[in-house]
Structure 1
Amino acid sequence: MPQTAQVHVETHAVKERSPFVNAIREFWKSYRKNKPALFGTSIILVFILLAIFANFIAPQGINDQNIGNKLQAPSAAHWFGTDDFGRDIFSRILFGARLSLRVGFLSVIGSIVVGTLLGILAGYFGKVLDVIISRLFDILLAFPSILLSIAIVAILGPSLNNALVAIAIVNVPVFGRLVRSRVLTVKEEEYVVAARSIGMGDMRIIFHHILPNSIAPIIVQGTLNIATAILDAAGLGFLGMGAEAPLPEWGKMLSDSREYIQNAPWTVLFPGLAIVLVVVGFNLIGDGLRDALDPRMKN
């Protein structure tokens, strides 16, 4: 290839990439100005790293018992103390981060996939399909989320995976209604009408125009819902409807330690603190993403 032609191709490639690169740069420029969002990001990154390297960081296994050391206060040997079986609470919280983050991410991903699909079908094609899907969302939203989660887990059976499925189902209407409202707005835009007038197919319009212009609110809502999902999983675990012993799920740890809250408060303090930090972290990230991705929030 001649050098002039090669330079032309490379220049063309840079031009093709520039809108995306510029969008990323604009997003990061706005996001990094939000100090609370950066703080929340730091919290979540720390917990993710702790979960990934838990095998190397944890001083003991999650089920290593020593009855002689039960309910020991925090010390150099046991940073967060021990529980009623003499298990190291710090180690269990590290491994519990894997469970809580897995439930949060996977349940929200499932909700986004199903909710987005139903929302697009309802908003884009409308008519009878819209009525059926919208009424389904209304029925699911008529129940308090924790009660509906309990009912689903009661049907499926108590386990962490079933709790994950229940939380995903409960959050489907949140994303479905969000996407539906966005689709109803975007499909009336001039560029979508023009694409339809030149014969562009429905699937191409959805994937090339509708979905890309609906990503930002989905990302923001998804980040916020991860915090909600982790809280719901902890609530189900506390009620005995989620993770089963001896899994070190944070809500289950709170449930198992509630009778020792006066004699050994550290058994409740540290799992509860872990839940609070992760939930606050995701909420701060969600607020930062909303401010960075929503043009109405920019000066």
Structure 2
Amino acid sequence: MQFGKNIKRIGLALGVVAAGVLLTACSSNSSSKKGYQSELKQSKQLTVGLEGTYAPYSYRKDGKLTGFEVDLSKAVAKKMHLKANFVPTKWDSLIAGLGSNKYDVVLNNIAETPERKKSYLFSTPYIYSRYALITKAGNQSIKTLKDVKGKKLAEGTGTNNETQAKKLGAKTVPSGDFTTSLALIRQGRVDGAINAREAWFAYAKSNSTKGLVYHKVADSQAEPVKISAMFNQKDTKLKTKFNQVLQQLRKDGTLTKLSKKYFGEDITQK
């Protein structure tokens, strides 16, 4: 932080004290910068692990890596005076790659869970993933989560959405992706689907939602899932610096801007 307030010289002694304070501050800033940089895998680079096949978070467009988490990583790295270096990795080995120091941080729409927190550090959330309930137009039997008991819902195997559906007493039908779930709803093969609202926003941004109804799920019905950046437990200084920069990007509107660019809505607010 820089202080722009001008102080008039009121004698030599005061000038010496002021100089001492200035030197101390500069030394502190330099030490802080060196601290988090010493934890980086490669000097002057923020090495980021992600899938690169998961639109709109990270994916390839015309052969170029892009997406919400790609742009976010670049914005964070820039403020840290680093260059973002991306390492696309399949999901099955993505988290393991962090443990083996393949990269500094993982940004891949990863939910902060008690189990993961036992082995890794997490940044403050940059997405608050809220649930959405999708049904076929004209279906009056499901309007809120309490209505899904006994109903058939299309859900991805092993996902938070499937866990939530089963917890509410619904019968689940395996679905490979969100588009498939919507097709099953349109065809009447299932009664609906519970999914992340950002999945709906991203789909609706470039596809017709005719024949479908989106029901907003209140936080009182299901708590938002915190999506955060993941670090190795030893990289405490890097995590702290990342959080500081993330707060700056939230304050200056960058997070909101990127969210609206890729999702059409702001999904970054608590």
TM-score (ref. length: structure 1): 0.24
- Structure richer in strand, relative to its length: 2
- Structure richer in helix, relative to its length: 1
TM-score (ref. length: structure 2): 0.26
